[in-house]
Amino acid sequence: MEKLVITGGTTLTGEVSIMGAKNSAIAILPATLLCKGICTLNNVPNIIDVNLSCQILEQLGSKITWVGPNSLTIDNTNIYNTHAPLDLTSKFRASYYLIGAMLSRCKEIEVGLPGGCNLGARPIDQHIKAFEALGATANCSQGKINVSTNKLIGSNIYMDVVSVGATINALLASVFAEGTTTIDNAAKEPHIVDVANFLNALGADIRGAGTDLIKVNGVQELRNSVTYSIVPDQIEAGTFMLAAIASKGDILIKNCIPEHLDPLTSKILEIGGNVEICADTIHVWCKNRVNKTVVKTLPYPGFPTDLQPQIGVVLSMANGTSIINESIWDSRFQYTAELNKMGANITAQGKSAIFEGVEKLYGAPVFATDLRAGAALVIAGIVAEGTTEIFNLKHIDRGYENIEKKFASLGAKIERVVEK
């Protein structure tokens, strides 16, 4: 078993470059199934969820070659298997994208019910609603989903909840659907736009991605090759922005899209931190203890739920009492119990938590309860007095490439240790 051991009390300074977006990459990888030739993807994060996606695609017939540390080619000329490996697909959430992509490619697919972080109930009713609207039949039983169709026909899909996954799946399934599909109340996250840009680069006709009404005019075929670069990961960038604030540090974050971080930038300025934007870099620094605030997570362009635990660390040490209301996930405050072990004073109840700001955190053994909780604990360990050990690294490695190397390059005393 591996653990991260952090000797805290560090002020982070320096430059860091942002990887390609996890939540784009794990959608664009299955989206390549719509191309009957070779796709070259650049800026691909080398993380567990991407490696899992590649392993699953290979079992369907894809030939994948890493041609650089963050570049790969996928040859999908010969897709022969419509049964995705249940053990792998149930390990993470994004396996549900195989459904939309394989419906378009082969008109049928069987996958295991998606896994992923335990953030409370994670239904997929809106995905199923979209597939059925397009003319597919779905059956869920014994931990598997079978979806098939004779023909996909364009339709008007209204999402009852704003869902990133269902919006992307509806896009994937509608590219070849006869006629026009509209997706109303669509999610607007940068990775929705990225998936649409990728599909359009292949010749799809998708308009309005990034707004709440997306229109897809069905096409008969796509190009046989494309080279595409995945957008920078706004959550990794936000994690470093908040690490700069929590450690009263000074970090230049390179290779990011600052507009994707507007809600976080506003919050940082509001609590007394400093942010300077220049082209694709964000400079963040802070000298003093930050002020209390209220945060409510919302779909993009609201404050991202995937940065909620990281800002929780900042607010646990703010001057005064802060409140976070989590509106996306039922169970995203598990990290607060771990932060309390480090001296924080947080009371979480249901989807709200009250943060009584303390002056200092203290090192302790803690467990990453999910991906972003893990990132938050890394920040907490870096600023805490004394030594922090973080266990359960499988969550962190699903979504952050070289997390300890990147923080170490900013001055953190952090190492990965194999526990005997």
Tell me the catalytic residues. Answer: 117
Distances (CA, A) of 309 to 104, 304, 334: 37, 10, 9
Q: Is the N-terminal amide bond of 85 cis, ω within 30° of 0?
A: no
**Whole-angstrom distance, CA of residue 83 vs CA of residue 102:** 10
- Which residues 282-321 are close enough to bind ligand EPU by CB under 6 A? 305-306
* Smaller CB separation from ligand EPU, 195 or 346: 195
**What is the crossing angle of helices 22-31 and 234-246, to 10°?**
170
Distance of alpha carbon 104 from the chain centroid? 24
Q: Is residue 126 within the footprint of ligand EPU (CB under 6 A)?
A: yes
Q: In this structure, is the dihedral angle defined by the CA atoms of residues 359, 365, 370 and 374, taken in order, positive or negative?
A: positive
We find the least distance from the C-beta atom of residue 157 to ligand EPU, in angstroms, to be 12
Q: Is 367 helix (H, G, I), strand (E, B) or coil?
A: strand
Contact indicator for 360, 377 with CB cutoff of 8 Å: no
Ramachandran assignment for 271, one of left (phi > 0), alpha (psi -120 to 50 degrees), beta (any other): alpha
Minimum gap (Å) between residue 90 Cβ and ligand EPU? 14
Decide if residue 351 touches ligand EPU (CB under 6 A).
no
**CB 385, min distance to ligand EPU, A:** 28
Nearer to ligand EPU, 321 or 331 (CB): 331
Using CB atoms, what's the residue nearest to ligand EPU? 165
Q: Which of 20, 45, 165, 232 binds ligand EPU (CB under 6 A)?
A: 165
Which of 127, 188, 260, 351 is close enough to bind ligand EPU by CB under 6 A? Answer: 127
Residues 198-237, mask of contacts with ligand EPU (x by CB under 6 A) = ----------------------------------------
Could you tell me which stretch among 3-11, 124-132, 141-149, 311-319 binds ligand EPU (CB under 6 A)? 124-132
Element (H, E) at 51: helix 48-60
User: Of 109, 111, 166, 290, which lies in the binding site for ligand EPU, with binding defined by CB under 6 A?
Assistant: 166
Residue 125 interacts with ligand EPU (CB under 6 A)? yes
Stretch that binds ligand EPU, among 5-13, 31-39, 115-123, 257-265 (CB under 6 A): 115-123
Choose the stretch contacting ligand EPU; rule: CB under 6 A; options: 52-60, 118-126, 173-181, 263-271: 118-126
Report, in Å, the least distance between residue 166 CB and ligand EPU.
5
Q: Is 134 in the site for ligand EPU (CB under 6 A)?
A: no
Least separation, in Å, of the C-beta of 119 and ligand EPU? 6
What tokens does 196 get? 């649409």
| 20's tokens | 């390609």
Kindly calculate the radius of gyration of the chain based on its CA atoms and give it in whole angstroms: 21
Q: Where do we find the tokens 């990728």?
A: 198
Number of continuous H segments (helices) and E segments (strands) in the chain:
14, 23
Under the binding rule (CB under 6 A), the answer on residue 122 touching ligand EPU is yes
Q: Any idea what DSSP says for residue 59? A: H
Contact 40/7 with Cβ under 8 angstroms? no
Backbone dihedral region for residue 155 (phi beyond 0: left; psi -120 to 50: alpha; all else: beta)? beta
Q: Which of 117, 171, 245, 410 binds ligand EPU (CB under 6 A)?
A: 117
Measure the CA–CA gap between 75 and 52, rounded to whole angstroms.
17
Q: Give, as ranges, the residues between 356 and 375 that touch ligand EPU (CB under 6 A).
A: 371-372
For ligand EPU, the binding residue among 1, 67, 161, 417 (CB under 6 A) is: 161
Stretch that binds ligand EPU, among 123-131, 243-251, 252-260, 280-288 (CB under 6 A): 123-131
Binding of ligand EPU by 163 (CB under 6 A): yes
| Strand partners of residue 297 | 303
Touching ligand EPU, residues 70-109 (CB under 6 A):
93-94
Nearer to ligand EPU, 326 or 404 (CB): 326
Which residue, 131 or 176, has its beta carbon nearer to ligand EPU? 131
Give the position of tokens 């480090």.
342
Which tokens go with 387? Answer: 């030594």
Alpha-carbon distance 28 to 408, whole Å? 30
Which residue, 165 or 273, has its beta carbon nearer to ligand EPU?
165
Which secondary structure element, helix H or strand E, spans residue 282, and what is its range? strand 281-285
Q: Which residues of the chain form contacts with ligand EPU (CB under 6 A)?
A: 23, 26, 93-94, 117, 121-127, 161, 163-166, 187, 305-306, 328-329, 371-372, 399
